[in-house]
Amino acid sequence: MNTVQPLDGDAAATAILGLKVRPGLEEEYWAWQKAVNAAAADYAGYLGAEVSPPTPLQPDWLVIYRFDSIAHLQAWINSATRQNLLDIGSRYFDGPGTQQVVRGGRQAPDPLVTVVVAHRVDPDHVDDFLDWQQRMSEEERTFAGFRGTELFRPIDGLQDEWTTLYRFDSAEHLDAWLTSGTRRRILEEGEKFNEFKLRTIDNSFGSWFAFEENGREAPPPAASKTAIAVWVGLYPTVVLLTLALAPLKMPLWIGLLIGNLLSSFIMSFLTMPYYVNPLLGRWLRPAPGEPAARTNRIGLAIVASVTAVWAAAFFLITRDIWHLP
């Protein structure tokens, strides 16, 4: 659905920053970026920050800040604190960065791959631009994996560009759209709007890590944390399913086929929302300003403890109670 967001001053605001980091300075940049994120957490309205390193889909580092309003986001972006930190970190950057800001919006139920496109539009051509965007959206929705489009107006005093977000369920489906003849034809029809910036945000495991913050969904945590959290849920799920299906004595290839299908449903609808997320929520999404070292120690201690309990339980069960064939 193609949506133009209302100019609602109370809506949450998201800033998407693109940065090119000089080769060989990635570790120094990352340490600096963590200090910047910690400084942002001290500002009013801060909801969270996420940093994504370059991927095959996205050559830049992406930093995403979420605040509860445009005013609070703008206060951070224009603050002396941030400007001083940018001066310190300037040696890490290979050229100027880019920035898009969107107000409001909605999180897709499966935000796997989100593309952000920013256009500069002459005020006299806004109606033509909206018609052209509508044609683009109508063509997009015919492609496999398409999950929706949102269109955001410029924000006075903060951003002059129109920003479009569109989502696909996989990188392959996104690439099929980006390289299609249909898209090239639509771009040719809107030649005067073809000056744009495009970046991709790859959010794996998106809907498994949706936490409520002030009534809004937050972006997923770091990939390393999601991988560990999935492992915590996957181990008991797979062992219990294996024990439950063992009496059926199915051939290996059938057993794995059915077991994998059932584990996917159980993980998505039971294990993650009712076991892993409540158990590891404070580690996956620590409160703003909470020391990272402390939350990591507590989170990893919980991971180690529950995994040891499951391992001991399954050892005793499979040895004395529930024998595999």
| Of residues 107, 110, 99, the one with CA closest to residue 77 | 99
> What pLDDT score does 287 carry?
66
Asked whether residue 223 carries a pLDDT value surpassing 80, the answer given is no
User: Can you tell me the mean pLDDT for 208-229?
Assistant: 58
39 lies in some domain: yes
In a shared domain, residues 227 and 181: no
- Write down the H helix ranges in 112-214: 126-140, 171-178, 181-189
Asked whether residue 3 carries a pLDDT value surpassing 50, the answer given is no
Q: What percent of the chain has pLDDT over 90?
A: 16
In a shared domain, residues 201 and 230: no
| Residue 80 parent element (H or E) | helix 80-89
> Which residue has 């409520």 as its token pair?
212
Asked whether residue 189 carries a pLDDT value surpassing 70, the answer given is yes
310 lies in some domain: yes
Q: What's the distance, Cα to Cα, between the start and end of the chain in Å?
A: 52
CA-CA distance, 81 to 40, in Å (whole number)?
Answer: 9
Contact 261, 13 (CB under 8 A): no
- Of 152, 178, 209, the last residue of a domain is 209
Is residue 224 classed as helix, strand or coil in its secondary structure? helix
| Of residues 37, 24, 59, 15, the one with CA closest to residue 161 | 15
In a shared domain, residues 90 and 199: yes
In a shared domain, residues 69 and 197: yes
pLDDT tens string 284-302 = 877 656 677 888 899 999 9
Instruction: For the full predicted model, state whether its pTM sits above 0.75.
Output: no
In a shared domain, residues 200 and 78: yes
Pairing of strands 98-103, 13-19: antiparallel
Q: What is the CATH number of the domain that holds 184?
A: 3.30.70.100
| Of residues 174, 161, 176, the one with CA closest to residue 203 | 174
In a shared domain, residues 192 and 246: no
> What pLDDT score does 109 carry?
40
In a shared domain, residues 233 and 182: no
- Of 209, 241, 258, the last residue of a domain is 209
6 lies in some domain: no
> What pLDDT score does 301 carry?
95
42 Rama sector, left if φ>0, alpha if ψ -120 to 50, beta otherwise: alpha
4 lies in some domain: no
Domain membership of residue 84 as a residue range: 13-209
Residue 56 class from Cβ within 10 Å (0-12 exposed, 13-18 middle, 19+ buried)?
exposed
CA-CA distance, 262 to 238, in Å (whole number)?
Answer: 9
Is residue 105 classed as helix, strand or coil in its secondary structure? coil
278 Rama sector, left if φ>0, alpha if ψ -120 to 50, beta otherwise: alpha
DSSP for 257-323, please give it.
HHHHHHHHHHIIIIIIIIIIHHHHHHHHSPPTT--HHHHHHHHHHHHHHHHHHHHHHHHHIIIII--
3 lies in some domain: no
Asked whether residue 199 carries a pLDDT value surpassing 80, the answer given is no
Assign 202 a pLDDT band (cuts: 50, 70, 90): low
In a shared domain, residues 154 and 20: yes
Assign 207 a pLDDT band (cuts: 50, 70, 90): very low
147 lies in some domain: yes
For the ranges 183-192, 194-203, 259-268, the lowest mean pLDDT is seen at: 194-203
In a shared domain, residues 231 and 199: no
* 50 compared with 218, residue with greater pLDDT: 50
Asked whether residue 42 carries a pLDDT value surpassing 70, the answer given is yes
pLDDT tens string 162-172 = 888 777 877 78
In a shared domain, residues 29 and 159: yes
23 lies in some domain: yes
In a shared domain, residues 45 and 94: yes
- Of 153, 183, 209, the last residue of a domain is 209
Number of structural domains, the chain? 2
260 lies in some domain: yes
In a shared domain, residues 165 and 282: no
> What pLDDT score does 298 carry?
92
> What pLDDT score does 112 carry?
59
**Phi and psi at residue 227, to the nearest 5°:** -65, -45
